[in-house]
Amino acid sequence: SITDTDFVELLERAKASPANPKADPVRFDGQVAIVTGAGGGLGRAYALLLGKLGASVVVNDLGAPMAGQGSDSRAADLVVNEIVKAGGKAVANYDSVEEGEKVVETALKAFGRVDILVNNAGILRDKSFVRMSDADWDLVQSVHLRGTYKVIKAAWPHLNKQKYGRIVNTASAVGLYGNFGQTNYSAAKAGIVGLSKTLAVEGARKNIKVNVIAPNAGTRMTATIMPPEMVEAFKPEYVAPLVAFLSSSASEETGGVFEVGSGWVAQVRWQRTGGAAFPANRTLTPEQVRSKWSQAIDFEDGRATHPTTPGDSLNDFMANFDNGGD
Ligand code: NAD
């Protein structure tokens, strides 16, 4: 039987629509969010918004310079002060995300739980591949990919146990498409996409949703490459609402990759051609592959698909087992 309060709630939900988003406001009261690298740039905007919407926030920031070595606790402290001044709840954590267990420990000590992880901390060590040193490679992998892994690894048992969690990880268009001078960074960012897609599968039964964003924002990271008017147009505040939505119980989205910036949000997915089929009888030669090359790479012949699981991926292989040739 439906009580009056249930009925009112159902009515409110029914009224919530794109035209009327206020009917069911996205809130985080009673929830605890960890935002890494939240002392500046994008992370600061996420922490301020989550704090404003009722979350208790762990503002993690090593206070590192952009190339990643050194630290300064002021960055995190300033953002904590901003949240608290606005009437919110926040504590600082100054550990590197490479020590994820300490970051999560801060949340547990201060607020007793953790619900939301926004893995955002990052550095750049751009060099052409010819000039890239092992140190440039290793440090970027360690902060982005290992740091993301370590924070999630420490929080995961808690999310699992409470059967609720929202994780937003940070990739980059560079990790999706590649860019000169960023082999270390693009490899780490693409790694974060793979990590997130698999965690989305592993978290499904426990209501742990894991998504990835590839943001564009005017921050110190992009100030050297974006003209000033672009830095102005690409405000971190335009990215934060997507992060808040994906971090909320209002979103059931998982395993997604989203490009976001300047007030624009879009999803990215894989597309695969219909492919070229050859007899499955070990006679395949390089020349045969060449002969059907234009078909193998044709996205426009109406046969292209969007596989989303390894099972989807395998279907066309299986279907070719019986291909005896024409
Ligand atoms: P930013 O340099 O302004 O902020 C990054 C923050 O991470 C800094 O405050 C820094 O102190 C902190 N940090 C660095 N290493 C850390 C560590 N080991 N532990 C904890 N904190 C650490 O940069 P941003 O532009 O705000 O970038 C945020 C994230 O978004 C990064 O992951 C970045 O790669 C990604 N990103 C940004 C853009 C963009 O257009 N700005 C584009 C693609 C991806």
CB of 66 closer than 6 angstroms to any ligand 1 atom: yes
CB 146 within 8 A of CB 196: no
Q: Mean pLDDT over residues 188-208, rounded?
A: 98
Does residue 222 have a pLDDT over 90? no
CB 193 within 8 A of CB 170: no
Angle between helices 100-111 and 147-162 (to 10 degrees): 40
Give catalytic status of residue 164 as yes or no.
no
CA of 75 to the centre of ligand 1 (A): 12
CA of 7 to the centre of ligand 1 (A): 44
CB of 239 closer than 6 angstroms to any ligand 1 atom: no
pLDDT band at 323 (very low <50, low <70, confident <90, very high): confident
- Residue-averaged pLDDT of the chain: 93
CB 200 within 8 A of CB 212: no
CB 149 within 8 A of CB 191: no
Structure tokens at 289: 């592959």
Q: What is the pLDDT of residues 128-187, one digit of tens each?
A: 999 999 999 999 999 999 999 999 999 999 999 999 999 999 999 999 999 999 999 999
Q: What is the pLDDT of residues 65-110, one digit of tens each?
A: 888 878 788 999 999 999 999 999 999 999 999 999 999 999 999 9
Residue having the nearest C-alpha atom to atom 29 of ligand 1: 120
Selected residue with higher pLDDT from 67 and 205: 205
CB of 37 closer than 6 angstroms to any ligand 1 atom: yes
Q: What is the pLDDT of residues 29-65, one digit of tens each?
A: 999 999 999 999 999 999 999 999 999 999 999 988 8
CB of 219 closer than 6 angstroms to any ligand 1 atom: yes
In three-state secondary structure terms, 188 is helix
